[in-house]
Amino acid sequence: MGDDADVPRSPTIYDVAREAGVAASTVSRAFARPGRVNTVTAERVRVAAESLGYRVNPLARALPTGKTSIIALTISDVTNPFYTEIIQGAQSAAAAANFTMVLADGQESEVLEREALERVIPIVEGLVLATSRMSDAAIKMTARQKPMVVLNRSIPELPSLTTDNLSGVRQVVEYLVPLGHRSITYVAGPEASWADGARWRALVEVGAKLKVAARRIGPFPPTVRGGQEAAIKLSQHLPTAVLAYNDQVAIGVIKRLAAAGIDVPGRVSVIGFDDIFASSLTTPALTTVAAPLRQMGIIAVRNLLAVIRGAKPIAGTALMVPTHLIERGSAGPARDRKD
Amino acid sequence: MGDDADVPRSPTIYDVAREAGVAASTVSRAFARPGRVNTVTAERVRVAAESLGYRVNPLARALPTGKTSIIALTISDVTNPFYTEIIQGAQSAAAAANFTMVLADGQESEVLEREALERVIPIVEGLVLATSRMSDAAIKMTARQKPMVVLNRSIPELPSLTTDNLSGVRQVVEYLVPLGHRSITYVAGPEASWADGARWRALVEVGAKLKVAARRIGPFPPTVRGGQEAAIKLSQHLPTAVLAYNDQVAIGVIKRLAAAGIDVPGRVSVIGFDDIFASSLTTPALTTVAAPLRQMGIIAVRNLLAVIRGAKPIAGTALMVPTHLIERGSAGPARDRKD
DNA sequence: TTGAAAGCGCTAACAA
DNA sequence: TTGTTAGCGCTTTCAA
């Protein structure tokens, strides 16, 4: 009942074939590789298709070929501002190649992440795994099913892309030392996070070289609230400098410290990672290690597409995007006192 | 060269059929509606499938049925924190129904939005259009192709879901009046934004009722930078209260005003919309109109899925989610002076 | 270069 | 309830 306007079935290659007076396979060919446009026949097909408003049915194409023109980006939590730029970059690079991107969000749960992956694997041509919470072994298993590039994590057997944590940490330490800091406390993030391990190891390594003591507390959730928890522990034996797993944690630390009347950067310097949107807005604004995250998303997708098109994946050692320290207001001279 | 471990082709219903000693269609049925599990045969099929590790091929299923179990969420810019919670909610609701969600980002460009839509339409069963930059007419056209629900916009012919802007604005005005404000300046966002119009009209309406003058400047881009631009204009004739199109704009206004030595909320009160993550972190923290955005994403997807399953779309008047004012530090008493 | 025909893995009549 | 048989719209041999 009502208006059943009966949308006409969309035309198929057969309709076009009839219209153009050629075989269906000829139509198919004309659309399979639109590079060659010369032939007279091809031109006839084009015209016929145009006049009928024909569009190739991606589902039907995908069945015999497996080419769905879909890739997946899996992340551990959409809500984490860290991903914003990565998503943006990945999505735009996919769109530029006429690919559709599906977002698989793990909601910080390994189970949900797996489920999302399962759901998505059969329909995609490849995937970008950003900051997976799964084990290396599990990742390698799924990598055997479809082309994959790994983001923000280094797995020797797979094409990986990370930020240059070592350089980032070095910049932090080299910034802090002249300000009189002799010791840096690292506020750790999730244990399952590859970046967390990388950052801590970097701090130990650089610290050893530059005669700065590296301490560590945690793990804490990678959130503002996590940072607030950390601040409680921190205030028991206040360091002069803290390097947080990420900006949210850093912000949480600062907030809680401020609430306790402890001035940042007056009493303690706090530095974060990632340079999320909010970091420039807090008071004091956050000094942090930034990386070209959007670029990372773009590169990841481009590499993935290359592999899909048959390029040999370059594994072995992770590609790195550079990092740089953004000096804002949350770090300053070490307070003059015996530690 | 190297290890070509030759992943074995995944089993089909035919393999399962052979294993179970039944017809292929029987296998198909067993998986088509997994509700009925009773039959002896069905059980045999299940066992056979299990032993072979059979999984239905969603692509193959989609071809004859059109059921892809994919929906799309289109947004105008991933980078806008406003969408974060909506994406989250939508994605989790989709996952809960075993649907995959593709994200179609328009990157604030109508052209790109269209392209993304085109790409996605043939493969989805339905779509949620959040804050589209397209015209009503264009939206209605694409709504004829697939089930659709519209977010943050009201289109009489389509199921729509919006925040209760009128109530939100009323709460703002009722909060501001007792503080002595007699006039409120609205800093407008993009003209193509439905919410922008709704908020301004609400302010005019409520203002008229409560004897508060409503002024308006703009449009400005819905970003911090846009807010900064607005602040320049604002300072030419400083109002006592401003209501911004969204939080980013509000934050931009405050930043710029602060840079000019104009105190918020001392000299002027500033209120935003949306309660994005950063709003609680600024100084002063932002007073803003919040809405259950994640919930909105969930409801939108649930309604869409209902329509996909055959429910009659309820159009006519938009569903509304409630709004509430979050009082933080950016609004206070009107400065005592002749305006 | 083109056409004919088989088939991708599933679903959906229709019969049995 | 089960089996048989056509397709869904495309790609891809294989001949012509």
pLDDT in tens, A145-155: 999 999 999 99
Q: Residues B296-318: what's their mean pLDDT? A: 93
Residue B140 has φ and ψ, to the nearest 5°, of: -65, -35
| Residue B306 scores a pLDDT above 90 | yes
| Residue B4 scores a pLDDT above 80 | no
**Mean of per-residue pLDDT scores for chain A:** 93
The 10s digit of each residue's pLDDT in A264-305 is: 999 999 999 999 999 999 999 999 999 999 999 999 999 999
Confidence (pLDDT) at A116: 94
What residues contact B220, with CB distance under 8 A and at least 6 apart? Answer: B187, B188, B189, B226, B227, B229, B230, B245, B249
Cα atoms found within 13 Å of the Cα of residue A9, Cβ hemisphere only: 6
The 10s digit of each residue's pLDDT in B230-267 is: 999 999 999 999 999 999 999 999 999 999 999 999 99
Confidence (pLDDT) at B82: 95
Positions in chain D where some atom is under 7 Å from a protein CB: 1-5, 7-13
Whether A310 sits with its Cβ under 7 A from any strand C atom: the answer reads no
Nearest nucleic acid nucleotide to A23, CA to C1' distance: C3
Alpha-carbon gap, residue B120 to A68, rounded angstroms: 11
In contact, B131 and B86? CB cutoff 8 Å: no
| Residue B44 scores a pLDDT above 80 | yes
Nearest nucleic acid nucleotide to B38, CA to C1' distance: D1
Q: Residues A53-67: what's their mean pLDDT? A: 95
Please tell me the distance in Å from A92's CA to the nearest CA on chain B.
Answer: 8
Q: With respect to residue A317, please indicate whether it lies within any of the assigned structural domains.
A: no
Same domain as B154, residue B189: no
Q: With respect to residue A130, please indicate whether it lies within any of the assigned structural domains.
A: yes
CA/C1' separation B60–C12 (Å) = 14
What is the percentage of chain B residues whose pLDDT exceeds 90? 86
Whether B258 sits with its Cβ under 7 A from any strand C atom: the answer reads no
Nearest nucleic acid nucleotide to A42, CA to C1' distance: C1
Please report residues of B whose CB lies closer than 8 A to that of A91.
Answer: 78, 103, 105
Same domain as B169, residue B152: no
Confidence (pLDDT) at A32: 85
Nearest nucleic acid nucleotide to B24, CA to C1' distance: D3
Q: With respect to residue B281, please indicate whether it lies within any of the assigned structural domains.
A: yes
| Residue B133 scores a pLDDT above 70 | yes
Same domain as A261, residue A175: yes
Q: Residues A317-323: what's their mean pLDDT? A: 94
Give the residue on A whose Cα is nearest the Cα of B68.
Answer: A59
Among B88, B107, B144, whose Cβ lies nearest the Cβ of A79? B88
Q: With respect to residue B337, please indicate whether it lies within any of the assigned structural domains.
A: no
Same domain as A198, residue A279: yes
Edge-to-edge order in the sheet of strand B70-75:
A319-321, A160-163, A148-151, A126-130, A70-75, A100-105, B100-105, B70-75, B126-130, B148-151, B160-163, B319-321
Among B54, B76, B103, the strongest candidate for a mutation testing the A interface, having the largest count of A CBs within 10 A, is B103
Same domain as B132, residue B19: no
CATH number at residue A129: 3.40.50.2300
Confidence (pLDDT) at B159: 96
Confidence (pLDDT) at B230: 98
The 10s digit of each residue's pLDDT in B174-208 is: 999 999 999 999 999 999 899 999 999 999 999 99
CATH number at residue A45: 1.10.260.40
Among A5, A85, A120, whose Cβ lies nearest the Cβ of B100? A120
CA/C1' separation B118–D12 (Å) = 27
Among protein residues, the one whose C-alpha sits closest to the C1' atom of C7 is A64
What residues contact A38, with CB distance under 8 A and at least 6 apart? Answer: none
The 10s digit of each residue's pLDDT in A61-90 is: 999 999 999 999 999 999 999 999 999 999
Q: With respect to residue B315, please indicate whether it lies within any of the assigned structural domains.
A: no
Instruction: Using DSSP, state whether A260 is helix, strand or coil.
Output: coil
pLDDT band at residue B2 using 50, 70 and 90 as cut-offs: very low
The 10s digit of each residue's pLDDT in A245-264 is: 999 999 999 999 999 999 99
Please tell me the distance in Å from A223's CA to the nearest CA on chain B.
Answer: 11
Same domain as B298, residue B152: yes
AA letter at A243: L
In contact, B288 and B272? CB cutoff 8 Å: yes
User: Is the CB of A101 less than 8 angstroms away from the CB of B98?
Assistant: no
AA letter at B124: V
Please report residues of A whose CB lies closer than 8 A to that of B60.
Answer: 63
The 10s digit of each residue's pLDDT in A101-123 is: 999 999 888 899 999 999 999 99
Confidence (pLDDT) at B3: 35
Same domain as A276, residue A197: yes
Q: With respect to residue A337, please indicate whether it lies within any of the assigned structural domains.
A: no
Confidence (pLDDT) at B143: 94
| Residue A5 scores a pLDDT above 90 | no
User: Is the CB of A58 less than 8 angstroms away from the CB of B102?
Assistant: no
Same domain as A254, residue A180: yes
| Residue A6 scores a pLDDT above 70 | no
| Eight-class DSSP state of A265 | T
SS3 annotation, chain B = CCCCCCCCCCCCHHHHHHHHCCCHHHHHHHHHCCCCCCCHHHHHHHHHHHHHCCCCCHHHHHHHHCCCCEEEEEECCCCCCHHHHHHHHHHHHHHHCCCEEEEEECCCCHHHHHHHHHHHHHHCCEEEEECCCCCHHHHHHHHCCCCEEEECCCCCCCCEEEECHHHHHHHHHHHHHHHCCCEEEEECCCCCCHHHHHHHHHHHHHHHHHCCEEEEECCCCCCHHHHHHHHHHHHHCCCCEEEECCHHHHHHHHHHHHHCCCCCCCCCEEEEECCCHHHHCECCCCEEEECCHHHHHHHHHHHHHHHHCCCCCCCCCCEEECCEEECCCCCCCCCCCCC
Please tell me the distance in Å from B248's CA to the nearest CA on chain A.
Answer: 10
**Mean of per-residue pLDDT scores for chain B:** 92
Confidence (pLDDT) at A41: 86
Among protein residues, the one whose C-alpha sits closest to the C1' atom of C3 is A23
Among B120, B277, B286, the strongest candidate for a mutation testing the A interface, having the largest count of A CBs within 10 A, is B277
Domain end among A13, A32, A56: A56
pLDDT band at residue A38 using 50, 70 and 90 as cut-offs: low
pLDDT band at residue B132 using 50, 70 and 90 as cut-offs: confident
The 10s digit of each residue's pLDDT in B75-117 is: 999 999 999 999 999 999 999 999 999 999 998 888 999 999 9
Structural domain containing residue B8: 4-56
In contact, B184 and B210? CB cutoff 8 Å: no
Same domain as B204, residue B111: no
CA–CA distances in Å: residue A194 to residues A112, A160, A304: 19, 12, 21
pLDDT band at residue A339 using 50, 70 and 90 as cut-offs: very low
Please tell me the distance in Å from A253's CA to the nearest CA on chain B.
Answer: 12
| Residue A37 scores a pLDDT above 70 | no
Give the residue on B whose Cα is nearest the Cα of A98.
Answer: B119
Please report residues of B whose CB lies closer than 8 A to that of A98.
Answer: 119
| Residue A336 scores a pLDDT above 90 | no
Same domain as A112, residue A15: no
Q: Pairing mode, if any, of strands B287-290 and B324-326?
A: antiparallel
Please tell me the distance in Å from B212's CA to the nearest CA on chain A.
Answer: 31
| Residue A338 scores a pLDDT above 60 | no
Same domain as A282, residue A170: yes
In contact, A168 and A183? CB cutoff 8 Å: no
Split into its structural domains, chain B has a count of 3
pLDDT band at residue A8 using 50, 70 and 90 as cut-offs: low
Same domain as B275, residue B189: yes
Q: With respect to residue B223, please indicate whether it lies within any of the assigned structural domains.
A: yes
Please report residues of A whose CB lies closer than 8 A to that of B224.
Answer: 281
CA–CA distances in Å: residue B188 to residues A41, A152, B185: 55, 39, 9
